[in-house]
Structure 1
């Protein structure tokens, strides 16, 4: 586990599926100007060549802002870029397999959905953070299992690892999560599809610091 794990805190921006790399860089640049310093590159609709090309352009931009990049479900790409870490889902590599490849100094995050068993396994296997969701209806994953505040509280009781809330979170419903103790939330559409990404990022960050 990394000493830098507390960096998994605050607003966690997950990149949208965007085949136009210039558009992606423009959106990420706006989020950076808004104060976002933690990003996950997630491009389920693009092939490996496209992902390689995009992240080669994305990483230097993030580096200029001293922002951190986590790669979704691609350990080799994480290694190639010397990214901050990798995020694993239900059908991805195991934590042990990922750790063997990327070593002890990179972050491994795990999607636990609404499963306390996955949370327990992630903790036992050495994950650096766990993600719970969906807390609200989401167009990104319309069939995602729903998570309750009670399950969030159970997860808090199970681990001191950072817990990332995800799924349909926007500026309105984020307030209820923050009141319940959520300190880290991942957003996609509510940030990157907003009319003003920079302003929206600042609003999210202000809420999380309130």
Structure 2
């Protein structure tokens, strides 16, 4: 079965303890998810690994790529499938030397075509643009227009990830502009109806768009 031209990329909330593994399981059972990013802040390495390992096992069971945010050492320790780096994190070259070629490395490029080109030429496996919409997940400083996705899709074969405040109600222009992945967090985990309902909504939209 051919996957949709644009796929879903889930990003964790900052709190991945408690019943979060059950929520992740239900999200994966609701529809196809290409990748899951483990994004926690300000916790010690052993705690991070303890939280990450059962989530990675769930990802492995569902054939979902497990991506670690920012933490090269953690990605190496738990043998993550991918690493996501911001502009202020460890450099791409350094991360690649430690993790090897099999690990997929993505780079936050905000609203910058220059940063995206640098990342692509430096060997990034994907570039992330955003925030396209206001978001409570992190402070919104950069807000690109959808034209950056159109430009990238015509210029480069490296996939693009659209991020920032994305919901089933506002994602259509991003898909139409050529985003390869929709990175979603709050609209999945914060809904009172549970993550499965929102994942099903995204699945319907992405399937019809392919």
Quick check: TM above 0.5?
Answer: yes
Distance 2:54 2:166 in 1: 28
Query: Given the alignment of the two structures, is residue 30 of structure 1 paired with residue 26 of structure 2, yes or no?
Result: yes
For 1:42, the equivalent position in structure 2 comes to 39
8 Å CA contact 1:8–1:38 kept in 2: the answer is: no
Deviation at 1:200, TM superposition (A): 1.1
Q: Alignment partner of 1:170: what SS?
A: coil
Query: Given the alignment of the two structures, is residue 149 of structure 1 paired with residue 146 of structure 2, yes or no?
Result: yes
- 1:55 equivalent among 52, 55, 59: 52
When the two structures are superposed, what TM-score results if normalisation uses the length of structure 2? Answer: 0.90
For 2:207, the equivalent position in structure 1 comes to 209
- Structure 2: gaps (5+ residues): none
- Structure 1: gaps (5+ residues): 1-5
Deviation at 1:141, TM superposition (A): 2.0
Query: Given the alignment of the two structures, is residue 100 of structure 1 paired with residue 104 of structure 2, yes or no?
Result: no
Distance 2:175 2:23 in 1: 25
The runs of at least 4 consecutive aligned structure 1 residues that moved more than 6 Å come to none
Give the 5 Å matches for 1:1-210: 10-18=7-15, 21-35=17-31, 36-194=33-191, 195-210=193-208
Distance 2:53 2:72 in 1: 15
When the two structures are superposed, what TM-score results if normalisation uses the length of structure 1? Answer: 0.90
Distance 2:79 2:5 in 1: 17
Deviation per CA, 1:47-90, whole angstroms, max 9, x where unpaired?
33321110122111222222210100111111111111100001
8 Å CA contact 1:37–1:65 kept in 2: the answer is: no
Deviation at 1:156, TM superposition (A): 2.2
Q: Alignment partner of 2:9: what SS?
A: strand
Deviation at 1:13, TM superposition (A): 0.1
